[in-house]
Every structure is written in structure tokens, then in C-alpha cells.
Chain A
Amino acid sequence: MKELIQKAASLLETNVVQVVIGYGKGSADRTRAIFSTTAADCEQLIFDSRCIQNLAVYLTKAEIKKMGKPAIVAPLPVLRSILQLAAENQITDDSLVVLGVSPESELIEFESLAAIETYLATKQIAIEEKYQTTIKAIKAMPVSERFAYWVKELEPCFKCYACRAACPLCYCTRCTVENNQPQWISVASHSLGNLEWHIMRAMHLAGRCTDCEACYNACPMGIPIYLLTKSMLQDVSENFGTYGPSLHRDNTLSSFNPDDKESFIR
């Protein structure tokens, strides 16, 4: 990605940005996030199919903000997260430079956040068929069986909160799970706490999640937590029509339509 390296280096040289958030070589065959502050550092930037971490998570971190204005290497999932963060007033046009990377690994420069929205309009979030089938199969189980399925699936969770740390949209400085007056969620790794933690996480991402799967990629136990967020994405689109990040639309749960339809309130 020579183009990317050149662009990043020139941004740093001209002092347009003070740090470039990108992917670099990690341990073994993995990649990791690197933070380049000089043009020479930029030589280490790489981009390939192993770069699955969602870098947008760093945009809201105090440590990164302290480094100055960032430029960020942004493949499709990161672009979506950036747009969602902008919709939630976490970033503005002036607060960052986006170095977009197309699915064909070509560098795309974005003039503004609005340009990202225009670009993403042609690349709507689509839930893959295999996941749709799994969700359908789970929903077809009898209630008790479904509950047992999830208790078992969530059993390996030991609440390391890697899913939360990897999610660009989990940027609260204090999380409900850390509240102990009252203790909303038991922090021990037993079934009730696990269940409630994952319900809470999914609910707090309802209508915001951009389906980047960073939570799943970060999970050391490989728990398919993306099924919950994907199922909620489906619910949003079925009930409210639109989903996906937008600068012009309020979040699903922070807005309403007097004509919202449901079938269960009497």
C-alpha cells in the first residue's frame, strides 16, 4: 500500500495531523494497530485481509485524543463506525482525516463525513445468508431449548470485556457493569451475570451496531455474540424500516415515530 504510506507520511510532514492510526505487523502472523507520529513511522503501515480490527475504537480514547488530530486507515467496517460516531456527535469534520480503503484495497480520500455517507449509501450493511439461517434456526427452537442453548453458548464467558473494549461504539467512560450501587450485573462469571451482561451489551447497541463483528473477533472464547446484534439489526429493519449509520437520522432508540407499530401492547 504505497499510496497509503505516502499519503499518511505527507499528512504528518505537513502537520495536518499529528498521529496516523493504522495497521502494522503484530506478533506471529497477526496485525495490530500502530500509531505513527513521524513520516518514517508510516513505512510500517500495512493493509491486507488480516486487518480486521476496528480502528475506530481509538478515536474516542482519551490517550489518543491527547496525541493530537488523527488520520485513520479506514476499510469499510471502520468507515461505518466513523459515520455512527459522527451521528452521535463524538467526532466532527475537523477532528480527523479519514484514509478510506475500498474493498479492492484502493485508497479513497474523503473530503467530509458527508462524503463517507454518500460512499456508504451504495454499500449497505447486509446480513449474510448463513447468519440469517442460524438466527432463524435459533428462533425456531422451543423457548426453553433456546434459553438452554444460550446459557450453554455464553457459559465460556468470563467477562474479560474484550467485546466492549473492541467495540467503537462502547465508548462510555463508566459502564453499567461497573456500577455496584446497585450492582446491576453480577461480575462473577456464572450464567446469570453472563446472560445479563450480554443482554445489556446488545440492548445498548440496539439500532447503533454497524455489524463490524469486532466484538466477536476480540472474544477469546469465540462466543457468537454477533448473533444477538445481527438479530437486533434485523428487528430494526423489520420494525422501523431503515438501519445503518446516518448523519441525518436519529438513532433508533433515541427517536420515535408516533405511528410505530407493535402487536403486543394491549
Chain B
Amino acid sequence: MNEFEPKIVAFVCNWCTYAGADLTGTSRIKYAQNVKIIRFPCTGRIDFMLLLKSFGEGADGIIVSGCHPNDCHYTSGNFHARRRWIMFRGLLDMLGIDVRRIQYSWVSAAEGAKWADVVNTTVTAIRELGPYTDYAKVAGYLEKEANV
């Protein structure tokens, strides 16, 4: 199990977390390299289907991060996103999709250290949970069909 390296996809907003992650780098803070960052204009733009697609493509964990409340570049994108995540999380929980594998956070452009911490703690948590096989097994059905 120690050899398991979780694959983590991070959906981040351009204005806060992406800049924050940049600061982590320029501050020379080292953090886990398991994360693949995808930049979005705003957390409000992050469609819930994208999260499902990540799991379907074999992600073990997901980070969704953007501006702190009241800091949105577009005034209210993160407020809308927050409502959406509250509803989405409830639905996923109802369906038995492991909500512990999705970490939401607010990381501002000044919080380089927080970004490193968010990634590190998420990687540790997902490593403990192990590979996400439930969703992948269902998704694997596609591959099986393609191979026939």
C-alpha cells in the first residue's frame, strides 16, 4: 500500500488558487507531486460533470479550490459554486460516491503555504483511503467493451 501514489486532479480558479499555487512554487515550498492542476476562469465555471469525468478517467481524489467568499473576481462566482457543491456533495453521498475523495478549499493568491498544505493533506488522506476502485470498476466496463 505504501507504493500507491494517488492520482489527484485539482480544479482551481485563475484569480486566487492558481496564483496561490504559483506563489507556492516561487516561494520554493515543496509539495506532493501527485496533483494535476487544471485552471478555470472561476470556481463558478467548474461544472460538476468535470468532477465525474475525473473519477471516470481514474482519478483517486479531486481538489476544488478558488477564492475566499467575498473575494471572487466576478463578485459572486464562488458563492454560486458553494451552493452547487453543497447540493452536489449531498447527491454524491446519497449515491455512495466517496465524498471524502473530494477536497474543497479556499486558497487566495497570497496563500502559497496553504496550497501546499491542502495538497499534502489531501494526498495523505487519499493515500490512506487507497485507490478509488468503485467508480473505476464501473467506468472499466467501457474499456472492456472497447477491447472486444
Q: Chain A interface (Cβ within 8 Å of chain B)?
A: 135, 138-139, 141, 143-151, 176, 184-186, 188, 190-192, 195-196, 199-200, 202-203, 206-207, 227-228, 231-232, 235-236, 239-240, 252-258, 260, 262, 264-266
22 cross-chain CB contacts under 8 A: A143-B97, A147-B134, A148-B134, A188-B145, A190-B145, A192-B138, A192-B142, A195-B138, A202-B91, A203-B91, A206-B91, A228-B91, A231-B90, A232-B94, A236-B87, A239-B87, A256-B76, A256-B80, A260-B83, A262-B85, A265-B85, A265-B105
B residues near A (Cβ < 8 Å) are 48-49, 52-53, 56, 69-70, 76, 79-80, 82-99, 103-106, 118, 134-135, 138-139, 141-142, 145
Q: Bound state CA distance, A206 and B94, in angstroms?
A: 14
Which of chain B's residues has its CB closest to A196's CB?
B52
Is the pair A206, B95 in contact by a Cβ cutoff of 8 Å?
no
**Dominant secondary structure at the B interface:** helix
Chain B residues with Cβ below 8 Å from A232 are: 87, 90-91, 94
Majority-rule SS of A interface residues:
helix
- Which of the listed residues A151, A199, A254 has the most CB atoms from chain B within 10 Å of its own CB? A199
Complex interface: chain A residues within 8 A of B87 (CB): 203, 206-207, 232, 235-236, 239, 252-253
Give CA–CA (A264, B99) in the complex, Å.
10
B104 close to A191 (CB less than 8 A): no
Known: A253-B83, A258-B79. A191 touches B96 (CB 8 A): no
Provided the pairs A192-B56, A207-B87 are in contact, do residues A256 and B82 lie with their beta carbons within 8 angstroms? yes
Q: How far is the CA of A207 from the CA of B87 in the complex (A)?
A: 9
- For residue B83, which residues in chain A have a CB less than 8 angstroms away from its CB? 240, 252-253, 255-256, 260
- Min C-beta distance of A117 to chain B, whole Å: 23
**A253 with B145, Cβ < 8 A, contacts A141-B96, A150-B95 known:** no
Query: In the complex, which of the residues A200, A207, A264 contacts B104, with contact meaning CB atoms closer than 8 Å?
Result: A264
